[in-house]
Chain A
């Protein structure tokens, strides 16, 4: 097999534990890379290079898992703020799918992510992050509040826990497989 990269997007509202999840399963300490806010300014306005860097870039956290000698899985956390939607397209393009982290105290912060992946037909699982404490809601209540389709898996996890995060990733990959035409 050719050297192959696979992407999974870790999405959710600000503070839902995206970087925590990436940290718990990544084989490297999560890295942060930056993207310019407008690529148009690279060649035209930005005459002194990175002079106003802190104002013109958005940070992306990511980690990696070596799957086999030829396959590496990259986990990309989405930028927290909604105004960075333009980055989502690049992250989501060709991705296996996404994990949308949910904080039950602030369900609404994850609505935009659910909406984004639903509209584009990108497989995703909703993952309720339990490190915020006891959750008084049932699966059905969360599904209903988030308007999750019946086919969308809902999992519970503790993003700090490697085994728990791993199970959420497995649930996503299985879900993506179930949507392939070959799957009986």
Chain B
């Protein structure tokens, strides 16, 4: 239906045949507001064969821990869209997420770990 009303010429070059807003059901922000561009996610080993290719593409990048910003960079998807798509995958149990990067209180233990890591560089 959407395809008929939509002149896809411009999209062919980008290799994208479904409007991005359709993929995310018109959502403009993730349900989980803790999702940050530095939040890391990892694929859960479940059957993902029913997912749309755009979602599979994201899952394909999540074999190891990876941040939302990295997914966006590798797949050339704007951050706003990646965030919503990752949120959908989290909600449906295809992805797990690590601790949000938006630490309300950055604790001393974490800063000590960062300091030690930097000193080892």
| Residues in A lying within 8 Å of B, measured CB to CB | 1-7, 25, 31-36, 39-40, 42-43, 46-51, 53, 57, 60, 62, 64-68, 71-74, 76, 90-91, 93-96, 162, 166, 169-170, 173-174, 176-177, 180, 182-183
Beyond A36-B80, A48-B19, is A68–B14 a contact (Cβ under 8 Å)? Answer: no
Of B11, B106, B108, most buried by chain A (CB within 10 Å of CB) is B106
B60-83 at interface with A (beta carbon < 8 Å) = 65, 67, 69-70, 72-74, 76, 78-81
How many inter-chain residue pairs (CB < 8 Å) link A and B?
Answer: 172
Q: Please determine whether B121 and A166 come into contact, CB atoms closer than 8 angstroms.
A: yes
Pick the contact of A3: B6, B99, B103 (CB < 8 A): B99
Please classify how large the interface on chain B is, using the bins under 10, 10 to 19, 20 to 34, 35 or more. 35 or more
Say yes or no: is B119 at the interface (Cβ < 8 Å to chain A). Answer: yes
Say yes or no: is B16 at the interface (Cβ < 8 Å to chain A). Answer: yes
- For A7, the chain B residues whose CB sits under 8 A away are 36, 38, 101
Pick the contact of B119: A31, A42, A60, A170 (CB < 8 A): A170
B87-121 at interface with A (beta carbon < 8 Å) = 98-104, 106-108, 110-119, 121
A65 to B120, CA, bound (A): 11
Q: Please determine whether A34 and B113 come into contact, CB atoms closer than 8 angstroms.
A: no
Beyond A6-B110, A170-B115, is A48–B11 a contact (Cβ under 8 Å)? Answer: yes
Pick the contact of B78: A31, A36, A64 (CB < 8 A): A36
A36 to B27, CA, bound (A): 14
Beyond A5-B38, A5-B67, A170-B119, is A43–B14 a contact (Cβ under 8 Å)? Answer: no
Say yes or no: is B45 at the interface (Cβ < 8 Å to chain A). Answer: no
Pick the contact of B113: A3, A40, A71 (CB < 8 A): A71
Q: How far is the CB of B105 from chain A (nearest CB, A)?
A: 8
- For B101, the chain A residues whose CB sits under 8 A away are 4-7, 74, 94-95
- For B48, the chain A residues whose CB sits under 8 A away are none
- For A90, the chain B residues whose CB sits under 8 A away are 36-37
Beyond A6-B114, A33-B72, A173-B114, is A74–B38 a contact (Cβ under 8 Å)? Answer: yes
Q: List 24 A-B contacts (CB under 8 A).
A: A3-B65, A6-B101, A31-B69, A33-B79, A35-B79, A35-B80, A36-B80, A36-B81, A46-B19, A48-B19, A49-B11, A51-B11, A60-B37, A60-B79, A62-B69, A67-B118, A68-B113, A73-B118, A94-B36, A95-B101, A96-B111, A177-B112, A177-B115, A183-B108
